[in-house]
Amino acid sequence: MGTISLKNINKSFGSTEVLKQLSLDIQDGEFLTLVGPSGCGKSTLLKIIAGLEQQNSGDVIIDDKNVNSTRASKRDLAMVFQSYALYPHLTVRKNLETPLKLRDYSFVERLPLVGNFVPSRKEKKKSIDDLVFKTSETLKITELLDRKPGQLSGGQRQRAALGRAMVREPVAFLMDEPLSNLDAALRVHMRSELSELHNSLKTTFIYVTHDQAEALTMSTRMAVMIDGELLQLDTPSEVYNNPSSLRVAEFVGSPKINTFAAQISSDGSVEFMGIKLERKFNTNSQKALVAVRPEHLEITKDSNKPAFEATVSYRENLGSDIFYHVQVDQSESKIIVRGSPQAGLISNGETVRISLSHAEAMLFETSGERIR
Amino acid sequence: MHHSKAHIWFVWPAIILMIVILILPIFLAGGISFTNYNLGNSSFEWVGTENYEKMFSRKTYIKMIISTATYVLIVVPVSVVLGLVAAIMLNSLRFGADIYKTIFFLPVMATLLAMAIAWEFTLHPTLGIINSFLANGCGGIREFILGFHWLPWVSSEDSWYSVACANNMDFPYWLKDKKTAIWTICFIGVWQAFGFNMVLYLAGLTSIPRELYHAAEMDGAQSTWEQFKLVTWPMLGPTTLFVVTITTIRSFQVFDTIEILTKGGPAKTTYVMMYAIFEKAIQQNITSIGAAITVVFIIFIILLTFFQRYVIEKRVHY
């Protein structure tokens, strides 16, 4: 079992409120990502779940048990830290043994020298050795067991840190941006490894990241947090395609979603930049914001399609895609459009016509709420 | 690659200086220690190992070795442990840490010479504040605490305190008594050294990443002792090595307190090496004996350095 639920968590450091009335239910075996910009309180929330930080009010419930007054070491959770926090003076093997020894050995058995004479220790040592070996096999770090963390590369340290968390089969894994210290290629590789690990362990993972790509690729559900509030909790595709507010839409997705001022006529039809949306919306507001992802805009040569004109000011060539940053006369902000490399490069300064690739767009109130 | 000789030009001033003011005097001292040369003499004779034989046979020099060893073996461990304890306690304080830091560091900053004079007054057998404090406490709570009457096996009639009270305030003479002099000197040494060790340990403590304590907590290290054993002590390894080395070398070099307070007495119980060198070579002008003691002194320091360099350093650096 590994269900964790948070009820009305509040946390402030001095006068700064970090978490505001945050509630969250995490199901057993789920890969939940807490994602949000730096300083949104996601790491603090993870520490509160772990018990390393105490909330000002609210309840943390693990497996139907309130653990507000249970200290971190008694909550049976394992954590992977951003800096890995391996014990630098111990070999990888000793690092992996530490959580097992601290939990399984009695006080006498842990004593140096004297401990060796306690008969029960031998048996326990055997089972610890087996567990360490098994874990190192899973993570492919068996040949690194006798090295110290200082002699390992970033990726190997990351595995060792994972191993130390995995070795004792905790209720849930808490990961605090574990991939942020790796280089780009390794990070992408580790994403798939972590997903596989989650599939094979079937334990609850709570994963904190500011990198939405990690959140979108790995998680079963992602929780988008901004300014200490939980804005949306849903599957990655739902969060991406159907964001509940403009802040979520703007945070998730790279490059950032484009927004346009729109007018709503009394019959509910919406018009922006001379383009009329096919769908009608049921709202009383007259002004709203239309948000369109870069891949839903296209550069068109078809003069019949409703479109607006803009000047290309910058080109981002990613190989598989090209993103054009274009400037529209009236507005000061830039718009990003995805173009395909097959269509041929458009040079800076050229004027292009931009239309919707399929006539769908999300509509938001000027205050940021979604109009459906 | 082009082989230039420029590096030699950069290095030789330093090498020459080192040879002239460091290496040469050591060899000179080594040479003199095998002669009967005294400063001002126009000639000398080689006497072989006579000076060293004297050192290891005469009672004075045996006492010198004993008092130096006592001083080092007491001051080093006590001041290192006290420094560590004080640093850990100060590190956990929220308020007032700066005040305590200043108090504990004061003896390090102050001139030991001036401090020694203050101690001389404090420890004076009849006029000193310590003995008058003890004398005024006879029969009171001070007697109970300092006489260890609270320990079950100490009877209140024959504790050292009660005996002193009964014998007309016969409290220890501290620096004037050959039984207590070296211990009093050690106490002053600890008082003077531990503040410095504390500051070094405080610096070491702040460099331990907080995440390691979090990791230890998550791994199940519950008691402060477990966390100390798993994180604090190993992470302080390099600091401890440095602190122990520097304190040992400084303890071997203790001189000013001895010169001011005891002049090596009573009965040569505080006759430490540095003072012996000073007394023989400078005051009595027996340069050859002074040189022999210096050579032994240097050998001690070199052995210590090698021990630190090749034995311990391998264990504390990762």
pLDDT tens readout for residues A73-100: 888 899 999 888 999 988 899 899 888 8
What's the gap in Å between the CA of A370 and the closest CA on chain B? 40
Interfacial residues of A (vs B; Cβ cutoff 8 Å): 47, 50-52, 71-74, 77-79, 81-83, 85-90, 98-99, 102-103, 148-150, 164
Report the residue from B218, B234, B318 with minimal CB separation from A79: B218
Which domains does chain B carry?
52-125+172-316 (1.10.3720.10)
In this model, does residue B226 exceed pLDDT 90? no
Q: Where are the domains of chain A?
A: 4-249, 255-371
Question: pLDDT of A292-330, one tens digit each?
Answer: 998 888 888 888 888 888 888 888 888 888 899 998 876
A71 contacts B217? CB cut-off 8 A: yes
CA distance B232 to chain A (A): 11
The chain B residue lying nearest A82, using CA atoms, is B211
Mean pLDDT lowest among A41-55, B94-108, B148-162 = B148-162
At residue B318, the pLDDT reads 61
User: How close, in Å, is residue A221 to chain B by CA atoms?
Assistant: 25
User: A255-371 maps to which CATH number?
Assistant: 2.40.50.140
Q: Decide if B218 and A88 are in contact by the 8 Å CB cutoff.
A: no
Residues 159-218 of B with CB under 8 A from A: 209, 211-212, 214-215, 217-218
pTM summary value: 0.80
Using CA atoms, how far apart are residues B275 and A240, in angstroms rounded to an integer? 81
Q: Is the pLDDT of residue A360 over 80?
A: no
Distances (CA, A) of A310 to A289, A351, A355: 19, 6, 11
Residues whose CB is less than 8 angstroms from the CB of residue B184 and which lie 6 or more positions away in sequence, other chains included = B123, B174, B175
Chain B contact probe: residue of A86, A98, A151 with most B CBs at under 10 A: A98
User: Taking the alpha carbons of B192, B194, B197, B199 in that order, is the dihedral positive or negative?
Assistant: negative
Q: Higher confidence at residue A115 or residue A184?
A: A184
Evaluate whether A50 touches A174 at the Cβ level (below 8 Å).
Answer: yes
For range B26-50, the mean pLDDT: 82
A364: left (phi over 0), alpha (psi -120 to 50) or beta: beta
Tell me the pLDDT of chain B averaged across its residues: 84
pLDDT for residue B157 is more than 80:
no
Segment B227-246 shows an average pLDDT of 89
* pLDDT of res. B301: 87
Nearest chain A Cα distance for residue B237, angstroms? 9
Residue B317: the pLDDT is 62
- Tokens linked to B68: 């130096």
Please give the pLDDT value at position A236.
Answer: 92
Average pLDDT for chain A: 86
A42 neighbors A214 (Cβ within 8 angstroms): no
What average pLDDT score do residues A125-148 get?
87
What's the whole-number mean pLDDT along residues B110-119?
A: 82
Residue with tokens 């003896």: B107
pLDDT at A204 over 70: yes
Place B247 in a pLDDT band, splitting at 50, 70 and 90.
very high
Residues of B in contact with A150 (CB under 8 A): 318
A8-12, A265-269, B151-155, range with the lowest pLDDT: B151-155
Helix count and strand count (H, E) for chain B: 18, 0
**Between B214, B221, B318, which is nearest A85 by CB?**
B214
Cβ distance of B212 and A87 shorter than 8 Å: yes
Residue B1: per-residue pLDDT: 57
Which residue carries 């209720």 as its tokens? A171
Among the CATH numbers 1.20.120.530, 3.40.50.2300, 3.40.50.300, 3.40.50.970, which is that of A4-249?
A: 3.40.50.300
Test A99 with B231 for CB contact under 8 angstroms.
no
Q: Name the residue among A83, A99, A150 with its Cβ closest to that of B220.
A: A99
What type of residue is B24? L
Q: Is the pLDDT of residue B17 over 90?
A: yes
Range with lowest mean pLDDT among A179-188, B119-128, B169-178, B222-231: B169-178
Set of chain B residues whose Cβ sits within 8 Å of the Cβ of A107: none
Cβ separation B230–A98 shorter than 8 A: yes
State the smallest CA–CA distance between residue A95 and chain B in angstroms: 10
Mutate to test the interface with B, among A46, A73, A96 (most CBs of B within 10 A): A73
In chain B, the residue whose alpha carbon lies closest to the alpha carbon of A165 is: B219
Q: Name which of B209, B219, B237 is nearest A89 (Cβ-Cβ).
A: B237
- Residue A306's SS3 state is coil
B295 has a pLDDT exceeding 60 = yes
Tell whether the model's pLDDT for residue B15 goes beyond 90: yes
Contact B217 A150 (CB under 8 A): no
Q: What is the mean pLDDT of residues A14-43?
A: 89
| Mean pLDDT of the region A269-289 | 83
Q: How far is CA B278 from CA B170, B286, B288, in A?
A: 34, 10, 12
Please give the residue of chain A at the shortest CA–CA distance from B233: A89
User: So what's the ipTM on this one?
Assistant: 0.83
Query: From B218, which residue of chain A is nearest by alpha-carbon distance?
Result: A73
Do B120 and B261 contact (CB within 8 A), yes or no? Answer: yes
